[in-house]
Structure 1
Amino acid sequence: MGMDFDDLDELLDDFVSDLRQTNKSKGTIDTYRRDIGYFRRFLVQNDLPTTTAALTRQHIGAYIEDTLTRPNQRTGRPITPEFADRQYRSLQQLCKFLVREEILDVDPFLKMNRPTVPEKPIPVPPIDALRKLLAVCEGSGFEARRDSAIIRLFADAGPRIGELAPLDVDAVDFTENTVLVLGKGRRPRTLPFSDKTRTSLRRYLRARASHPFTVHENPALWLGLRGRMTASGIQQMIERRADEAGIEHIHPHQFRHFFAHNWLANGGQEQDLMMLAGWRSRQMIGRYGASVADERARAAHRRARLGDQL
């Protein structure tokens, strides 16, 4: 059976190959592959072509509209605008690649509008909730020490879960009290951590030394029942610990918001925060910790004591 070089499946393989050549992360590649798969399924379900003929403004627009209006098959709830926006961006990147390869003459996204995503401030976990979370991780067992180290590193250094999960042991430097992570765009950056986090990491590594998977010289920093912990496994651990602590569920990304909010609340410089968080746009500063920005503003006013200077 011959290859149909015009079919989306074949084009997707070429696109993925290009992404690997430009050193895109596995997570990014998996997201593009999954999203373009959703689009192809939509085409099949609606008896539309699954070739480059489908990559028109009309067909892509119909898919985005369908995504914004149909309910989630699993939950029955409306699909979020954030999900529709991700579909838009994934297909946009595919089309840019096809234009570069001269497979498409014109980029269909040139005259399209991106879905509007309403700003929804992400709640910053209160420090009392994090203390309760750490309290249920107390103990000398392997899981207790591992979970405590993960939570402390999340809150103390503010990495993304996609940066924390793949860490190897040699990424941690106890001479400088830093951890080397690989951020978006495969850009490395060094995150400092405090003494309590250092102590927690050292305790975990001592417990890790007797873990069955270390016999095979597994380089993974975070070990679970089957070897390296995945991002999903870490998220499930945090949800389980939140249940044990009797607090609202915490998404791993909320630790990043906690980190950013507390950095700014304690007088940290915005430029330094951008470096530590791996941001290139100052817009991210306003987005992170936005739900408690008024709290920081009131605290800054109290410190300034403007009226007392009159």
Structure 2
Amino acid sequence: MERVRQPKTPQKLIPVIRNDDTKKALATCKGKTFLQLPDEAIIRLYCNTGARLSEVGNVTLDDIVLNSDSVHYHGKGSRDRRVRFGPRTARAITRYLRARAKHQGAALPDLWLTDRGGRRLDIGARTRLAKAVPKADELDAIAQELEDTAEDERRADADRRQRRNTVRSEATSLGF
């Protein structure tokens, strides 16, 4: 292993969403209406977990565990993972769940419901946010930036795993 050189990798900085942008997005969701509560919870889940839009949109009631402040995501390629979230996100989800319990579609297994009609929220959540929230273009851009940042982090992790496996296979082939 001493003779095996690690491959050189370029240091790529992953862009991170600024706190100001996150605060702006959350400020547009302040309120106690059934329309505003899920918006705040969705944005906080994005910020805390770095999940994809489809992962956040497909969360069911059984996927949220408030005792451990975690969510179970069903990701791309049938990859499931459990991710913890912070106390503010837990509070936003709890507020939404209380309002959801009184809602017309409370019996549905899906976490996110439409504000009218008691149906599952189709995760064109960006479209919903764009229609429901002022300054929706900012929210849409922020949601996209969050998704891109999480994707960049996943790619960087995959690159590190690939380099580690390359070094291991070279070491094995040299008899180490």
Using structure 1 for the length normalisation, give the TM-score. 0.42
Q: Deviations over 1:155-212 (max 9, x none)?
A: 1111111111111111001111100011111111001100000000000000111111
* Equivalent position SS for 1:164: helix
Contact 1:122–1:257 at 8 Å: present in 2 too? no
* SS across alignment from 1:153: helix
Runs of 4+ in 1 over 2 A off after TM superposition: 121-126, 237-249, 256-261
Task: State how far apart, in whole Å, the 2-side matches of 1:258 and 1:280 are.
Answer: 13
Match of 1:252 in 2: 143
Task: Confirm or deny: 8 A CA contact 1:242 1:250 kept in the other structure.
Answer: no
The one-letter code sitting in structure 2 at the alignment partner of 1:170 is D
Counterpart position of 1:10: none
Aligned mates of 1:242, 1:283 — CA distance in 2: 39
Q: CA deviation at 1:130?
A: 1.5
Return closer, same or farther for 1:190/1:253 CA change in 2, 3 Å cut-off. farther
Decide whether the 8 Å contact of 1:125 with 1:250 is kept in 2.
Answer: no
Once the 2 structures are TM-superposed, how far is the Cα of residue 143 of structure 1 from its aligned partner? 1.2
The 3-state SS of whatever aligns with 1:212 is coil
Aligned to 1:146: 38
1:218 and 2:95 are equivalent in the alignment: no
Partner Cα separation in structure 2 for residue 191 and residue 246 of structure 1? 28
Of 113, 128, 136, the residue aligned with 2:28 is 136
TM-score normalised over the length of structure 2:
0.71
Q: Which residue of 1 aligns with 2:167?
A: none
Q: How large is the Cα RMSD of the aligned pairs?
A: 3.1
- Deviation at 1:257? 4.1
Q: Give 1:162's aligned amino acid.
A: S
Q: Which residue does 2:75 correspond to in 1?
A: 183
Displacement, 1:242? 6.5
Which residue of structure 1 lines up, in the alignment, with residue 93 of structure 2? 201
Residue 302 of structure 1 is matched in structure 2 by none
Counterpart CA distance in 2 for 1:248 and 1:190 is: 26
Looking at structure 2, the residues matched to 251 and 228 of structure 1 have their Cα atoms a distance apart, in angstroms, of 23
- Contact conserved, 1:124 with 1:257, CA < 8 A, in 2? no
Other structure's SS at 2:73 match? strand
* Partners of 2:100 and 2:63 in 1: CA distance: 15
Q: Structure 2: which amino acid aligns with 1:186?
A: S
* Equivalent in the alignment of 1:237: 128
Q: Does the 8 Å CA contact 1:145/1:203 hold for their aligned counterparts?
A: yes
Letter in 1 for 2:19: I
Equivalent runs, 1:287-302 vs 2, <5 Å: none
Give the 5 Å matches for 1:82-101: none
**1:241: Cα distance to partner?**
6.2
Once the two structures are TM-superposed, the CA of residue 125 in structure 1 deviates from its matched residue by 3.7
Distance (Å, rounded) in 2 between the aligned partners of 1:251 and 1:125:
8
Distance 2:148 2:111 in 1: 24
Aligned residues: 147
Structure of greater relative contact order (alpha carbons < 8 Å, 6+ residues apart):
2
Distance 2:85 2:37 in 1: 17
| 8 Å contact from structure 1 (residues 242, 249) kept in 2 | no
CA contact (8 A) 2:29 2:133 kept: no
Contact 2:25–2:142 at 8 Å: present in 1 too?
Answer: no
Deviation at 1:239, TM superposition (A): 3.1
Query: Cα–Cα, structure 1 residues 246 and 128, in superposed 2: closer, same or farther, change >3 Å?
Result: farther
State which structure, 1 or 2, has the greater radius of gyration over its C-alpha atoms. 1
